[in-house]
Amino acid sequence: MTEEFRFELVSPERVLASEEADAVDLPASEGDMTAMRDHAALITTLKPGLLRVKSHSGTREFVVTGGFVEVSAEATTVLAEKAYAGDEITDELIDGFVSDAEKRVSETEGAARDIAETRLACMKSLRSEITR
Amino acid sequence: MPSLKDLKIRIESVKSTRKITKAMQMVAAAKLRRAQEAAENARPYSERLANVMSGLAASAQDSPSAPAMLAGTGKSDTYLLIAATAERGLCGGFNSSIIRMVKARARELIKEGKTVKILTIGKKGREQLKREFEEAFVGHVDLSGHRRVGSEAAEAIAAQVRDMFATGEFDVAVIFFSRFKSVISQEPTARQLIPLQFEEAAGGDRRFYNFEPAEADILDELLPKAVSNQVFSALLENAASEQGARMSAMDNATRNAGDMIDKLTIVYNRSRQAAITKELIEIISGAEAL
């Protein structure tokens, strides 16, 4: 058995990362989780949040706005709705997400509104996490 | 026999045409590189999504509660044909080959007694399909404002299609676009969007996954995404094909203009020479008469 654990982050438009990793912190919709080698095969959805990849060369952070992830013993593949890396993550970007989510809350009703509100809460916590 | 002046004008005009086609070819080549890159960058996502989806779909298809987007409505009375073409012409057979395919399919379906609805993406498709299928039109998407195909544009189209499906406006949706094989070869393709179809994942080894939340919930969330992604990848392929087709069409046009200039130049030189000879003969016979 190999000792490798591959991390891949792809968005519909491009491949953002494809590298070896030790651990990946994921903002899964049922609660944050960490995927490491030999994790049980799992498919889960993501909420908007911060994705952290720890490898021997350090920790990298990505912002994802949702999507889903496929975890297996040898690899973690994140299929993000939209993903941003490194210096693409700016205050304006995050503020844009928050105001978009706020707009959606004010426009929708009923069950869709609940979803929109959850999204807004995620965006806000993402903002506080980044500014911290 | 056209006069020397006429020939000269003619040569100049072909030369300026050649300049234009050459410029268009170079622009298309630059755009092609970008479009091709975008299409290639998008492929990993589509592939992985299709992989996961085909696994999910296989297990969901058997259950009676499978979502309609996957299992279909159980009927196939109304077809939505989505024709993705270019906003501009001058790209060889690119637009017409897609349109020909849509028309053939539409006629076939009408003959079988099905209802056909048409949604066009891109101006060229609308112009040409409107003539024959005016009453079948349900909408048009204008992409001329976008310089590059973005996932937002695809998402908007997919949302429109999903809304129509949710309100029962059609049973089967098919998107027509041109698959980018290489710069010189683009293949008009029909891809069924709803009910979704996936090619079986290569290798065929099925992993057993845990699902969080439950499998059905994930499927509900993934299906719309899969539809959007299929539209997106179709648009990207189309954009690359369009530029490829335009590049080779303009390359041909440039070469033809070159050939024409060569021919006209020969005719021009010959008639110039003939005129000189004629003048010489006149002078000589004039001198001899003295």
Computed over every residue of chain B, the mean pLDDT equals: 87
Contact by Cβ (8 Å): B85, B125: yes
Give the closest of B45, B52, B207 to A11, CB-based: B45
Tokens at A95, concatenated: 């503020």
> By three-state DSSP, how is residue B132 classified?
helix
Whether residues B212 and A12 touch (CB distance < 8 A) is answered with: no
Contact by Cβ (8 Å): B55, B92: no
Residue-level pLDDT at A25: 92
Task: For residue B47, list chain A residues with Cβ-Cβ distance below 8 A.
Answer: none
- Dihedral sign (CA B225, B227, B232, B237): positive
Counting residues of chain B whose pLDDT is more than 90, the rounded percentage is 45
Task: For residue A11, list chain B residues with Cβ-Cβ distance below 8 A.
Answer: 45
Whether residues B211 and A44 touch (CB distance < 8 A) is answered with: yes
Residue-level pLDDT at B288: 92
Chain A residues contacting B via beta carbons under 8 Å: 8, 10-15, 28-30, 40-45, 68, 70, 72, 77, 79, 81-82
Active site residue B91: yes
Whether residues A42 and B213 touch (CB distance < 8 A) is answered with: no
Task: For residue B218, list chain A residues with Cβ-Cβ distance below 8 A.
Answer: 43-45, 68
pTM, two decimal places: 0.84
DSSP B49-62: HHHHHHHHHHHHHH
Number of H helices, E strands in chain B: 6, 6
Say if residue B204's pLDDT is above 60.
no
Among A34, A70, A78, A115, which would you mutate to test the B interface (most chain B Cβ atoms within 10 Å of its Cβ)? A70
- pLDDT digits over B113-137, tens only? 999 999 999 888 888 898 888 888 8
Look up tokens 């290489």; give the residue. B182
Q: Identify which of B168, B282, B217, B222 has the alpha carbon closest to the alpha carbon of residue B52.
A: B222
Q: Bigger pLDDT: B3 or B22?
A: B22
Say if residue B98's pLDDT is above 80.
yes
Catalytic one among B81, B91, B164, B247? B91
Among B36, B37, B40, B45, which would you mutate to test the A interface (most chain A Cβ atoms within 10 Å of its Cβ)? B45
- pLDDT digits over B231-258, tens only? 999 999 999 999 999 999 999 999 999 9
Residue-level pLDDT at B203: 46
Task: In whole angstroms, give the CA distance from residue B89 to residue B82.
Answer: 19
Whether residues A13 and B151 touch (CB distance < 8 A) is answered with: yes
Per-residue confidence at B105, pLDDT binned at 50, 70, 90? very high
Counting residues of chain B whose pLDDT is more than 70, the rounded percentage is 93
Shortest Cα distance, chain A CAs vs residue B10, angstroms: 48
Q: B120: exposed, middle or buried (C-beta count within 10 Å: 0-12, 13-18, 19+)?
A: buried
Sequence-distant (≥ 6) Cβ neighbours of residue A29 within 8 angstroms: A44, A45, A46, A47, B212, B213
Task: For residue B60, list chain A residues with Cβ-Cβ distance below 8 A.
Answer: none
Q: Which of A85-89, B34-38, B43-47, B259-263 has the lowest mean pLDDT?
A: A85-89
Per-residue pLDDT of chain A (132 residues; tens, 9 = 90+): 456 899 999 988 888 989 999 999 999 888 889 999 888 888 899 988 889 999 888 888 899 988 889 888 888 999 998 888 877 888 888 888 888 888 888 888 888 888 888 888 888 888 887 776
- pLDDT digits over B44-68, tens only? 888 888 888 877 777 666 666 677 7
Per-residue confidence at B199, pLDDT binned at 50, 70, 90? low
Residue-level pLDDT at A102: 86
